[in-house]
């Protein structure tokens, strides 16, 4: 059984497909905006998930799909949106942004919205992650603009920026996750 664990050195270890939702003062986005900074060490990916206040953070990383009832309808709930036609996913998807440093087996930096890829780049800082040493990753979100980078959050350390033409409103929850291998997170701000 894969469980989240806290090591003696203070690092948080997240197993594949799980999600550690941050709680408490300083670990939630205010008015849908904020900057998340983490140090992480991983073999394949460092994943940060952002959800609105009406959404329900779950322990599993992959819980965007909702089951349909006997009539083939998805029960309505706050924070739910239908996926774009390009996502290829049936049913409703809980509104979220997923930022993946080292996506596709440590080859690219990727941003997803509601389970569909909206931006992907290679060859920039953050498109590959290291399992040998901790890297400092950050995500800044403000009014639909998602800016990601490595090092200290500033103009010089920006790796990529994407502007959502229809931003998810009320972002509040921040989750730390991974796809393929355990990830160690520390110094979470």
Q: Measured between alpha carbons, how far is 11 from 40 in angstroms, rounded to an integer?
A: 9
Which residue is associated with the tokens 């941003």?
Answer: 111
Q: Measured between alpha carbons, how far is 16 from 59 in angstroms, rounded to an integer?
A: 11
Region 135-143: mean pLDDT is 96
The yes-or-no verdict on residue 109 having pLDDT over 90 is yes
Region 47-56: mean pLDDT is 87
Q: Quick check: 175 and 59 in contact, CB under 8 A? A: no
Q: Quick check: 141 and 125 in contact, CB under 8 A? A: no
In whole numbers, what is the pLDDT of the chain averaged over residues? 83
Characterize the bridge pairing of strands 158-163 and 5-6. Answer: unpaired
Q: What residues does each domain of the chain span?
A: 24-61+89-186
The yes-or-no verdict on residue 148 having pLDDT over 90 is yes
Structure-model confidence comparison of residues 71 and 12, the more confident one? 12
Q: How confident is the model at residue 67 (pLDDT cuts 50, 70, 90)?
A: very low
Distances in Å between the Cα of 27 and the Cα atoms of 2, 23, 106, 174 are 24, 6, 26, 7
Alpha helices in the chain (DSSP H): 103-106
According to CATH, what is the number of the domain 24-61+89-186?
2.60.120.560
Max Cα–Cα distance, the chain, nearest Å: 53
- Token pair in block for residue 41: 């060490």
The yes-or-no verdict on residue 75 having pLDDT over 60 is no
Q: How confident is the model at residue 70 (pLDDT cuts 50, 70, 90)?
A: very low
- The dihedrals phi and psi of 145, each to the nearest 5 degrees, come to -100, 120
pLDDT tens, residue by residue, 8-17: 788 899 999 8
Region 72-82: mean pLDDT is 47
Q: Quick check: 46 and 37 in contact, CB under 8 A? A: no
pLDDT of residue 91: 54
């Amino acid at each position: 059984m894969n469980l989240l664990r806290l090591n003696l050195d203070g690092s948080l270890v997240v197993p594949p497909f799980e999600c550690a939702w941050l709680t408490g003062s300083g670990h939630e986005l205010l008015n849908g905006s904020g900057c998340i900074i983490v140090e992480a060490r991983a073999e394949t990916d460092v994943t940060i998930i952002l959800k609105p206040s009406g959404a329900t953070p779950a322990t599993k990383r992959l819980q965007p799909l909702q089951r349909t009832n006997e009539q083939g309808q998805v029960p309505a709930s706050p924070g739910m949106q239908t996926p774009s036609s390009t996502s290829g996913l049936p049913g409703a998807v809980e509104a979220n942004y997923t930022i993946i440093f080292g996506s596709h087996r440590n080859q690219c930096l990727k941003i997803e919205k509601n389970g569909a890829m909206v931006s992907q780049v290679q060859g920039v800082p953050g498109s590959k992650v290291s399992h040998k040493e901790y890297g400092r990753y950050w995500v800044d979100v403000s009014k639909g603009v998602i800016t990601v980078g490595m090092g200290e959050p500033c103009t010089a350390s920006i790796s990529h920026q994407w502007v959502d033409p229809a931003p998810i409103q009320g972002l509040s929850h921040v989750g730390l996750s991974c796809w393929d291998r355990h990830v160690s997170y520390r110094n979470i701000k």
